Amino acid sequence: MNSITCMICEQINPSRASFCSRCGASLPPPSSSPLETNLDHTNLDHTNLDNKLETGSRLRDRYIIQRTLGQGGFGKTYLAKDTGRFNELVTLKELTPRNQGTHTLEKAEELFQREATMLHKLSSPQIPRFWEFFRDGKRLFLVQDYIEGKTYQTLLEERLSKGERFSETEILQLFQQLLPVLSYLHQLGIIHRDIAPDNIIRRASDGVPVLIDLGGVKQIALEVNTPVTSGQNSAIYAGGTCLGKVGYAPDEQQSLGVAVHQGHR
């Protein structure tokens, strides 16, 4: 069966797909030759993709890299100091396409611009505030607030090391604090796509949970019932529906339920 490989994230999609099921990027028309379809994919140069920005590196003559926060399927995340805004700490999320060709970079920039436009609309104290999107050579970046705190995955591991788990009261409180955030996103036609303990931070300043890593988010039309998948999301957090219908548990609420259940059972 013929397939189309996304040049942004390398997800394999059905031959008749127009958009990538993982990242949402536009897909090229299917080729009559499988070799031709995967031509760029077989000639990837990964040398530059593993290069992390060094501490002290300056971007746009404004952002100074402090350290690397993490690395995912689409790129790296950095902690940086914003010298243009009173040296406040920010998160720089980098997208590094596997294929560094011009066409791929243009598609990646289109995808990142779409995500930036979506993030710009969000206004919630429990979602990191979006500041800007920019391109630096072949690197694409999103700038967001830095949230100081520990993820619930880290907190759970700390509890487990002591033979403990979250109490029922803590679980109920987490639900009460996060469900309104998901409702807010869904009202805007936005889904997070990767609800899991490592994407929820307990903010150090006030103990309130903050939903992070909206790198998998896609803006969708509420009237379209389109199946959604996530390459980064573990199968255990994947649910049955997108925004849900009467009589069915909405996918993201179900994922949140599974996530907190892991910390309580």
CB hemisphere CA count around 194 (13 angstroms): 19
* Structure confidence at residue 222 (pLDDT): 29
Q: Which of 120, 145, 170 is the last residue of a domain?
A: 145
Considering the chain, what is the average pLDDT of its residues? 74
Strand partners, 26: 19
* DSSP states of 109-122: HHHHHHHHHHHHH-
**Is 29 in the same domain as 93?**
no
**Is 139 in the same domain as 183?**
no
Q: Which of 116, 145, 174 is the last residue of a domain?
A: 145
CB neighbours (10 Å) of residue 132?
Answer: 14
Exposed/middle/buried for residue 128 (C-beta within 10 Å: 0-12, 13-18, 19+): buried
**Is 52 in the same domain as 38?**
no
CATH of the domain at 93: 3.30.200.20
**Is 164 in the same domain as 190?**
yes
**Is 2 in the same domain as 93?**
no
**Is 133 in the same domain as 167?**
no
* Structure confidence at residue 220 (pLDDT): 33
**Is 213 in the same domain as 243?**
yes
**Is 161 in the same domain as 197?**
yes
Number of structural domains the chain divides into: 3
Lowest mean pLDDT among 4-8, 129-133, 203-207: 4-8
**Is 140 in the same domain as 84?**
yes
CATH of the domain at 188: 1.10.510.10
**Is 29 in the same domain as 58?**
no
* Structure confidence at residue 24 (pLDDT): 61
Contacts of 47 (CB under 8 A, 6+ apart): none
The CA radius of gyration of the chain, in Å to the nearest whole number, is 19
pLDDT in tens, 185-231: 888 888 777 788 888 999 999 999 999 877 554 433 222 334 444 44
Q: Which two tokens stand for residue 21?
A: 């099921």
Boundaries of domain holding 92: 47-145
pLDDT in tens, 16-73: 777 677 666 666 665 433 333 332 332 333 345 457 899 999 999 999 999 999 886 5
* Structure confidence at residue 8 (pLDDT): 56
User: What is the band of 256 on the pLDDT scale with cuts at 50, 70, 90?
Assistant: low
**Is 34 in the same domain as 13?**
yes
In this structure, which amino acid lies at residue 19?
F
| Interatomic CA distance for residues 235 and 255, integer angstroms | 10
Note the pTM of the prediction, 2 decimals: 0.67
* Structure confidence at residue 134 (pLDDT): 87
Q: Which of 145, 177, 206 is the last residue of a domain?
A: 145
pLDDT in tens, 83-117: 999 999 999 988 766 656 666 677 777 777 777 77
pLDDT in tens, 45-58: 334 545 789 999 99
Instruction: Give the residue among 220, 216, 223, 221 at the shortest CA–CA distance from 238.
Output: 216
Active site residues: 194
* DSSP states of 146-194: ---EEEHHHHHHHHHHTT----HHHHHHHHHHHHHHHHHHHHTTEE-S-
**Is 96 in the same domain as 182?**
no
| Interatomic CA distance for residues 9 and 231, integer angstroms | 9
